[in-house]
Amino acid sequence: SKRYSVLYLDGLYVKLRRDAVEKEVSYVVLGVNEEGDREILDFFVGGQESAYGWREILQQLYKRGVKEVLLGVFDGLPGLEEAFKAIYPKADVQRCVVHKVRNTLN
């Protein structure tokens, strides 16, 4: 779709076996369309989570046709909000409640 109400961005760390077993990030983008249906829009496996990696993924989404987003929901990764706003400047952003609670309990 061209327009999504919400984009959830999260990096999930999983152990992967390549030459050795190491934790790598799986970038996952989940979109909620205007009808309320959830769709996995993109995922990418590899490396360590970074704002630069997210910016690349968001640029690819934009090129594939996701032109308008109303709200972005993600954790407090440094630089992620700026990367998101560079692609979707009119969107609002919100810190993920799960990440907020988890960080508060720590």
Q: Summarize pLDDT for 36-92 with one digit per residue, the tens.
A: 999 999 999 887 889 999 999 999 999 999 999 999 999 888 999 999 999 999 999
More confident call, 72 vs 20? 72
Question: Does the domain spanning 3-105 belong to CATH 3.30.420.10?
Answer: yes
Helices 51-63, 80-87: crossing angle, 10 deg rounding: 20
The reported pTM is: 0.84
The pLDDT confidence band at residue 16, using thresholds 50, 70 and 90, is: confident
Residue pair 41/66 in contact (Cβ under 8 Å)? The answer is yes
Name the residue ranges covered by the structural domains of the chain: 3-105
